């Protein structure tokens, strides 16, 4: 990867003298930032571009080439790759800027497959196609057709959308946010987010990572790398393309399939990364990790020259589930009042009054900086008649040096725009919301680093069981069925000691073993939603009621098997489920069952590779955990069942979906699974 | 009120030659904006300020004074008011800029009371004290010490914090937001938000209202006025000071008590107003109502030159519970492609590609503007190498004229700052989030206007019942108790036909009428949380179990009465409650009961003055409505019980809190109230 970000020599295939064409912009961008490597434009049309010799083809360069940019029409790309890969000094590293691949349809998809095949054959490392290129601000390398107005700084950006990167560069200039490296990864035929994540983990200039992703190519590897890097560096992720409708947009955009946002957010957060839900959030998180110290603890002080905005900010801290408002002791108030008698209130917010100048800010900040109990300081300022915003800005910057906790400026004034320049390396939050939210995330990230809830490196597999189940499921599949019957699903589940409520077929019923009340239901590999379709009759109290019910169902569902189960005792109805996610493979879900399922939409997703501590931690911190607690149900019992389903998921990759719904938990007896559905791929 | 916003003559008591003092700024501000009324500075120290004659005292002016600004130290204010009010031509209208009243403590509170008394005695209309003043951009009146850089426009601003108004003026300049009038209301000793709301309702230049409030002085009147104005003009409210901790800040800020945010938000929204939860939201709503047409329907189209940001925006619309992504038909796509062959995708977002110039934007917008099925258009642009942001900006402005639906710009570029000037009356959303959120709120506001869920003008009172209950509660109070015993609370509730589960005292138990299982609990006016303190024993199956339980409770709660109730059948446990809110007086709550109450925190607040349609509408659109539906419980039954509690609230203002918890609802039998608590003021 070093050859990409610090190449000694670059060839540009499709270079151009036209400064508005992509081939022209690429040459200009490489020349514009004092990049010191060798630059070889390639285009048979020209002998010279700017002051550079232009070569007819890559083979004519006859020098070692660290990196090759390709900006020619899509159909020419496979040929160019093959040529470059078979030179005497073969080229191994490519950035394919060209569009016109899988994002455009079947034809493009074929071309992209050719690229993938060539990469495999010749061990090529390729970024793109359909990308903007990469930038390394540390050595002036702009190997992209992005604008040249980027600032240098601590952010490593990985973007699946080139336009997103371009917008970030532009907004970065406005917000005074600088980048170490930017990588746009396009269709990620060869190199993907996981490769760049790995690289940025070890890049010393990159202190914080920002990712824009629409899908995740190698989900499990991504999580594994992410988990490691989050122990050292904060990673902010904006995951777009969440909904079915938007997925259509993604297919036409980079030809990728989008995954389920909720699962992605859950697993990404498990790894210690931070999900941003809007551009404003994303910028806020990049700001705090770029410029500010870590909060020393969760107590926060607000100082302000403006009552209203101070109260808005204090509301946010007071409502936060992470931060707390610091409360001054009487002695502290007395002392502060002596230092700054002009301030009107020594509560929180500490109101410096509308006529506060920068020295009043400074006096109070200096005083507070000595207080070891303070975790962070949020400083608000509005431009009132006597306010000198530039002087306050410089005061806040100076305070960074002597103050042990972060000082976050919330300057609510138009004046700030002209102050946000690299001369003063500091960022401003122009809404208290994003200052507080960012502080929360910094605090959580810092403390999460210490929680070790590693995913298992590889799942434990019980080989004999796996083999048996595999044979069993293959038999079902051979019968051209993907939905298992109740008896089949029960058979599978039983091999994991899942406690499925027994069922007898109505037509082979042993009346001796039958107890009332009982439940009659259909058992079908066609009708998935039995309940909804009226295929379940509950609470049958005697044989008469049972036979009436049987006639009803037989009439309604001709040729469908009927099964009889004992009626279960009421308890806490939960769902444990398993789903193959587009991005991450098998994931496990724990949710509230019964009638409230859809209304409260309370669910937790797990990786089936998680350890016990991971399951414990996720349930305990959720509403479901509180519910278990209130009902006196042992957390351990729930976890055991999740682990059984995890084992089933890990050993049976052909299971596409599984539902234990409901699994009823009790305070004083083992849980019972009343119904099970299994769907194969 | 017209005398405040369009005075013919103004006296400034405490005027000064010092341009940095408040008295000096007031004079300068009045002179700075071509305000044509007469200006009379008053200060015994000067003969002249600027070119104006300065008077020693108000009595020396000897002209009619429409408005008098006071900026002298707090202790002098009552005397000045008395002097002015007793002139031959008495002054009636004042703005008291001076601080130092109830916001500072008991001394200030006394001074403020003097002002209130004088206002009553002499029928004075007073804004403030402790405010910034008012501005009317229509006639150049800046009767405030706010900066002079405000833009003129359609927004009427009412702010309880002067600093909030100052910040809004400043940010308004940045965001190209203009104001018709601004009123800062300070401690609102006499005139308050309801007065200004009434005035702005009829001010033709005010098209949208923005309010910053920390408390609401005359809650019921405020709601009544708000409901009327929201039928005509959108009202955006930011309600700060939500939490106990922040309330402390409010007391020191304007000496007002803050109310409960959830209640405020609920009732304010019932009136058709829009609550903003952050400064960014507030600005977003002001933008859309200032500059944009109403959405024609709920379908939205996104066009973009940037894939990633387009997908982020599409995700927001797809996830919206209000808006929908428009789907182009095959014929529409074909037609669009003919018009603009360069675009890469005719999905939603419609991707114009990174090299789109303003004419490509124009072509597509013109084409879309003919489509009658489109409700709104969100236009994204990022600055890529070939992008001309100013040209796109002008194109979007021009499109306002011919396009029947709103076109909302989301320009993600630093360049936009220089384009946001009054020359082009248009606003930009710099995060797709706020464009989508604002569009949602506009759509909802427009459609809510048609729903008539009026609060009753005055509650129906059953006079005989009211009198009886009043006597009964007075007796309890005379016994120095504010918590009613179960029997007393039941007695009160029974007069509203609330179906309370009967209870017998254990020591006067009739064993003949007792059925098992039964429940034993304490009945105390001291212990409010029986359950938590272990004062309830459920499911006693026979007399033996009952007598063991009785011994247990008697030991634990000596001298406390015990009562016996039949065990109720399981059903849907809800809470119906009543609380005296700080801002709005009595409010009614419907919430989920049982163990899930605090976990899911599902609750609805109602005004007890609402009509049946109001209760219906609020429940039906909530999770509780879905729950009732799923359980087969009649909405009407729930509403009847809410109406009974409403009647109780309206007729018994001394009831501070009431809890029916739980009230169990069933599909096929009347609800039962298992426990009741009543607390008097």
pLDDT per position as a tens digit, A503-544: 888 888 887 888 888 999 998 877 766 777 888 898 888 889
Q: Which residues of B touch A604 (CB under 8 A)?
A: none
Pairing of strands A93-96, A67-70: parallel
Is the model's pLDDT at A61 over the cut of 50? Answer: yes
Cα distance between residue B610 and residue A407, in whole Å: 48
- State the pLDDT confidence band at A169, using cuts at 50, 70 and 90: very high
Only one residue has tokens 């019968």, namely A479
Contact A519, A563 (CB under 8 A): no
Phi/psi at A536 (5° precision): -130, 130
Is the model's pLDDT at B252 over the cut of 60? Answer: no
B431 touches chain A (CB under 8 A): yes
- State the pLDDT confidence band at B255, using cuts at 50, 70 and 90: very low
Cα distance between residue B201 and residue A610, in whole Å: 60
Contact flag A146-B385 (C-beta cutoff 8 Å): yes
B192 touches chain A (CB under 8 A): no
In the predicted model, what is the mean pLDDT of residues A431-436? 98
Contact flag A385-B173 (C-beta cutoff 8 Å): no
Pick from A117-131, A217-231, A273-287: least confident? A217-231
Tokens of B179: 């104001």
Contact B132, B184 (CB under 8 A): yes
- State the pLDDT confidence band at B34, using cuts at 50, 70 and 90: confident
Q: Which of A312, A384, A595 is closest, CB to CB, to B166?
A: A384
Tokens of B534: 């272990």
Cα distance between residue A640 and residue B4, in whole Å: 72
Contact flag A214-B386 (C-beta cutoff 8 Å): no
In the predicted model, what is the mean pLDDT of residues A294-307? 95
- State the pLDDT confidence band at A104, using cuts at 50, 70 and 90: confident
Cα distance between residue A214 and residue B496, in whole Å: 58
Is the model's pLDDT at A452 over the cut of 70? Answer: no
Contact flag B417-A174 (C-beta cutoff 8 Å): yes
Is the model's pLDDT at B468 over the cut of 50? Answer: yes
Give the SS3 label for residue B348.
Answer: coil
Q: Which residues of B touch A279 (CB under 8 A)?
A: 309, 312, 412, 430-433
Which has the closest alpha carbon to B82: B106, B57, B103?
B57
CA angle B111, B115, B116 (to 5 degrees): 115
pLDDT in tens, A384-412: 877 899 999 999 999 999 999 999 999 99
Cα distance between residue A23 and residue A13, in whole Å: 8
Cα distance between residue B157 and residue B81, in whole Å: 27
Contact flag A249-B386 (C-beta cutoff 8 Å): no
Contact A404, A369 (CB under 8 A): yes
Q: Which residues of B touch A354 (CB under 8 A)?
A: 162-163, 166
Give the SS3 label for residue B274.
Answer: strand
Residue A558: predicted pLDDT: 86
Instruction: Give residues with Cβ within 8 angstroms of A424, minimum separation 6.
Output: A176, A393, A394, A397
Q: Which of B188, B238, B306, B315 to mutate to test the interface with A (most CBs of A within 10 A)?
A: B315
Contact flag B161-A309 (C-beta cutoff 8 Å): yes
Q: How many residues does chain A have?
A: 681
Contact flag A345-B249 (C-beta cutoff 8 Å): yes
Helix axes A389-402, A358-368, angle to 10 degrees: 20
Give the SS3 label for residue B501.
Answer: coil
Contact A254, A103 (CB under 8 A): yes
Contact B95, B143 (CB under 8 A): yes
Which has the closest alpha carbon to A208: A171, A250, A187, A177?
A177
Residue B480: predicted pLDDT: 86
Contact flag B147-A384 (C-beta cutoff 8 Å): yes
- State the pLDDT confidence band at B481, using cuts at 50, 70 and 90: confident
- State the pLDDT confidence band at B253, using cuts at 50, 70 and 90: very low
- The dihedral through the CA atoms of B10, B16, B19, B20 has a sign that is negative
Helix axes B358-369, B389-402, angle to 10 degrees: 20
CB pairs below 8 Å between A and B: how many?
270
Only one residue has tokens 């009243």, namely B101
Pairing of strands B133-136, B125-127: unpaired
Q: What share of chain B has pLDDT > 90, as a percent?
A: 72
Q: Which residue of B has its CA nearest to A383?
A: B167
Q: Which of A308, A429, A620 to mutate to test the interface with B (most CBs of B within 10 A)?
A: A308
Cα distance between residue B524 and residue B485, in whole Å: 6
Residue A92: predicted pLDDT: 97
Contact flag A345-B252 (C-beta cutoff 8 Å): yes
Q: Which residue of A has its CA nearest to B599?
A: A623
Helix axes B463-478, B635-651, angle to 10 degrees: 60
Q: Which residue of B has its CA nearest to A326?
A: B245
Is the model's pLDDT at B455 over the cut of 80? Answer: no
In the predicted model, what is the mean pLDDT of residues B665-675? 94
Identify the DSSP state of B298: S
pLDDT in tens, A251-260: 222 222 223 7
A632 touches chain B (CB under 8 A): no
Residue B679: predicted pLDDT: 86
Interfacial B residues in 52-91 facing A (CB < 8 Å)? none
Residue B459: predicted pLDDT: 77
Which has the closest alpha carbon to B486: B454, B519, B463?
B519
Q: Which of A277, A309, A595 is closest, CB to CB, to B630?
A: A595
Cα distance between residue B574 and residue B665, in whole Å: 7
Q: Which residues of B touch A130 (CB under 8 A)?
A: none
B238 touches chain A (CB under 8 A): yes
A431 touches chain B (CB under 8 A): yes
How many CA atoms does the CB half-sphere of B197 hold within 13 Å? 29
Residue B452: predicted pLDDT: 61
Report the gap between the CA of A67 and the closest CA in chain B (Å): 23
- CA distances to A335, A342, B622 from A332, in Å: 5, 16, 47
Q: Which residue of A has its CA nearest to B595?
A: A630
Identify the DSSP state of B293: P
Interfacial B residues in 482-541 facing A (CB < 8 Å)? none
Report the gap between the CA of B651 and the closest CA in chain A (Å): 35
Contact flag B240-A351 (C-beta cutoff 8 Å): no
Q: Which of B315, B383, B626 is closest, CB to CB, to A147?
A: B383
- CA distances to A7, A8, A16 from A35, in Å: 10, 10, 19
Instruction: Give residues with Cβ within 8 angstroms of A283, minimum separation 6.
Output: A171, A175, A177, A434
Q: Which of B165, B259, B312 to mutate to test the interface with A (most CBs of A within 10 A)?
A: B312
Average pLDDT score, chain A: 91
- Residue A456: asked if its preceding bond is cis (omega within 30°), the reply is no
In the predicted model, what is the mean pLDDT of residues A79-92? 96
Q: Which of B20, B249, B278 is closest, CB to CB, to A349?
A: B249
Cα distance between residue A272 and residue A453, in whole Å: 10
Which has the closest alpha carbon to A168: B309, B518, B446?
B309
B254 touches chain A (CB under 8 A): yes
In the predicted model, what is the mean pLDDT of residues B14-42? 94
Is the model's pLDDT at B280 over the cut of 50? Answer: yes
Report the gap between the CA of B679 and the closest CA in chain A (Å): 27
Q: Which residues pair with A213 in a beta bridge?
A: A239
Q: Where are the alpha helices (DSSP H) in B38-96?
A: 77-85
In the predicted model, what is the mean pLDDT of residues B207-228? 94
Residue B273: predicted pLDDT: 96
In the predicted model, what is the mean pLDDT of residues B244-267? 50
Interfacial B residues in 411-430 facing A (CB < 8 Å)? 412-415, 417, 430
Tokens of A464: 């004999």
Cα distance between residue A96 and residue A133, in whole Å: 8
Cα distance between residue A309 and residue A436, in whole Å: 13
Which has the closest alpha carbon to A213: A199, A202, A198, A197?
A197
- B48's enclosing H/E stretch is strand B48-49
Tokens of B314: 């599409």
Tokens of B86: 């007793």
Cα distance between residue A639 and residue A608, in whole Å: 11
Contact B49, B17 (CB under 8 A): yes
A382 touches chain B (CB under 8 A): yes
Q: Which residue of B has its CA nearest to A261?
A: B315
| Cβ neighbour number for residue B525 with a 10 Å cutoff | 17
pLDDT in tens, B595-625: 677 677 788 899 999 889 999 999 999 999 9
- A363's enclosing H/E stretch is helix A358-368
Cα distance between residue B568 and residue B445, in whole Å: 44
Residue B112: predicted pLDDT: 97
B253 touches chain A (CB under 8 A): yes
Q: Which residues of A touch B344 (CB under 8 A)?
A: 103-104, 252
ipTM over 0.85: yes
Q: How many residues does chain B have?
A: 681
Contact flag A159-B308 (C-beta cutoff 8 Å): yes
Is the model's pLDDT at A66 over the cut of 70? Answer: yes
Q: Which residues pair with B184 in a beta bridge?
A: B159
A170 touches chain B (CB under 8 A): yes
Q: Which residues of A touch B252 (CB under 8 A)?
A: 344-345, 347, 351
Residue A243: predicted pLDDT: 52
Q: Which of A162, A311, A434 is closest, CB to CB, to B240?
A: A311
Q: Which domains does chain B have, with CATH numbers?
A: 2-241 (3.40.50.720), 293-446 (3.40.50.261), 502-566 (3.30.1490.20), 572-680 (3.30.470.20)
In the predicted model, what is the mean pLDDT of residues B215-230? 92
B308 touches chain A (CB under 8 A): yes
Tokens of A90: 């073969």
- DSSP track, A486-555: HHHHHHHHHTTT--BPP-EEGGG--TTT--SSEEEEEE-SS-S-TTTTT-EEEEE-SHHHHHHHHHHHHH
What is the C-alpha R_g of chain B?
31
Contact flag A354-B162 (C-beta cutoff 8 Å): yes
Helix axes B261-270, B219-229, angle to 10 degrees: 40
Give me the torsion for CA of A143, A147, A153, A159, rounded to 10°: -70
Cα distance between residue A471 and residue A477, in whole Å: 10
Contact B254, B187 (CB under 8 A): yes
Average pLDDT score, chain B: 91
- CA distances to B177, B481, B563, B655 from B524, in Å: 59, 11, 10, 18
Phi/psi at B648 (5° precision): -60, -45
Q: What is the pTM of this model?
A: 0.93
For chain A, the first-to-last Cα distance in angstroms comes to 37
Q: Which of B254, B309, B319 is closest, CB to CB, to A167?
A: B309
Only one residue has tokens 């992005």, namely A146
pLDDT in tens, B184-211: 999 999 999 999 999 999 999 999 999 9
Cα distance between residue B540 and residue A62, in whole Å: 95
- State the pLDDT confidence band at A151, using cuts at 50, 70 and 90: very high
Higher pLDDT, A206 or B449: A206
- State the pLDDT confidence band at A450, using cuts at 50, 70 and 90: low
Tokens of A266: 């859950």
Interfacial B residues in 140-169 facing A (CB < 8 Å)? 145-147, 159-164, 166-167
């Amino acid at each position: 990867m070093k050859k990409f970000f610090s190449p000694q020599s670059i060839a540009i295939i499709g270079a151009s003298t036209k400064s508005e064409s992509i081939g022209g912009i690429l040459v200009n961008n490489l020349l514009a930032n004092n990049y010191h490597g060798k630059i070889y434009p390639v285009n048979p049309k020209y002998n010279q571009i700017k002051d550079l010799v232009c070569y007819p083809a890559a083979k004519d360069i006859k020098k070692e080439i660290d990196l090759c940019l390709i900006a020619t029409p899509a159909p020419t790309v496979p040929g160019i790759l093959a040529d470059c890969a078979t030179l005497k000094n073969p080229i191994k590293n490519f950035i394919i800027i060209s569009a016109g691949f899988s994002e455009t349809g079947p034809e493009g998809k074929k071309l992209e497959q050719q690229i993938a095949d060539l990469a495999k054959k010749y061990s090529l490392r390729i970024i793109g196609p359909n990308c903007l290129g990469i930038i390394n601000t540390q050595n002036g390398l702009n190997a992209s057709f992005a604008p040249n107005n980027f600032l240098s700084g601590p952010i490593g950006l990985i973007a699946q959308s080139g336009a997103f990167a371009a917008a970030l560069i532009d907004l970065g200039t406005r917000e005074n946010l600088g980048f170490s490296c930017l990588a746009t990864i396009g269709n990620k035929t060869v190199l993907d987010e996981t490769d760049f994540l790995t690289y940025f983990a070890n890049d010393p200039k990159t202190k914080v990572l920002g990712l824009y992703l629409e899908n995740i190519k190698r989900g499990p590897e991504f999580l594994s790398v992410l988990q490691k890097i989050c122990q050292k560096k904060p990673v902010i992720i904006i995951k777009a393309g969440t909904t079915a409708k938007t997925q259509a947009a993604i297919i036409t955009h980079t030809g990728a399939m989008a995954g389920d946002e909720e699962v992605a957010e859950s697993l990404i957060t498990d790894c210690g990364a931070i999900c941003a839900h809007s551009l404003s959030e994303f910028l806020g998180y990049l700001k705090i990790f770029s410029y500010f110290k870590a909060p020393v603890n969760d107590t926060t002080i607000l100082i302000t020259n403006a009552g209203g905005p101070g109260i808005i900010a204090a509301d946010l801290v007071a409502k936060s589930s992470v931060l707390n408002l610091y409360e001054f002791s009487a002695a502290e108030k007395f002392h502060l009042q002596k230092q700054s008698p002009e301030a009107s209130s020594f509560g929180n917010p500490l109101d410096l009054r509308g006529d506060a100048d920068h020295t009043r800010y400074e006096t109070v900040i200096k005083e507070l900086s000595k207080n070891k109990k303070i975790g962070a300081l949020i400083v608000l300022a509005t431009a009132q008649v006597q306010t000198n915003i530039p002087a306050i800005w410089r005061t806040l910057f100076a305070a960074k040096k002597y103050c042990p906790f972060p000082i976050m400026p919330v300057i609510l004034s138009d004046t700030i725009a002209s102050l946000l320049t690299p001369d003063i390396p500091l960022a401003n939050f122009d809404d208290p919301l994003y200052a507080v939210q960012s502080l929360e995330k910094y605090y959580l990230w810092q403390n999460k680093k210490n929680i070790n809830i590693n995913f298992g490196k590889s799942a434990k597999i019980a080989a004999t069981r796996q083999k048996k189940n595999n044979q069993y499921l293959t038999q079902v599949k051979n019968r051209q069925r993907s939905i298992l019957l109740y008896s089949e699903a029960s058979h599978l589940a039983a091999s994991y000691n899942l406690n499925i409520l027994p069922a007898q077929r109505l037509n082979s019923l042993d009346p001796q073993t039958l107890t009332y009340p009982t439940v009659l239901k259909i058992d079908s590999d066609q009708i998935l939603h039995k309940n909804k379709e009226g295929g379940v009759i509950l609470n049958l109290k005697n044989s008469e009621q049972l036979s009436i019910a049987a006639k009803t169902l037989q009439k309604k569902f001709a040729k469908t098997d009927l099964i009889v189960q004992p009626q279960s005792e009421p308890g806490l109805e939960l769902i444990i489920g398993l789903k193959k996610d587009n991005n991450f493979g098998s994931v496990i879900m724990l949710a509230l069952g019964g009638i409230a399922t859809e209304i409260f939409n309370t669910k937790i997703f797990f990786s089936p590779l998680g350890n016990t501590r991971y399951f414990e931690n996720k349930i305990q911190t959720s509403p479901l955990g509180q519910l278990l607690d209130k009902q006196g149900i042992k957390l351990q019992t729930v976890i055991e069942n999740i682990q059984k389903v995890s084992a089933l998921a890990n050993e049976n990759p052909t299971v596409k979906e599984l539902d234990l719904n409901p699994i009823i938990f009790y305070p004083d007896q083992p849980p019972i699974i009343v119904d099970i559905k299994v769907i194969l791929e």
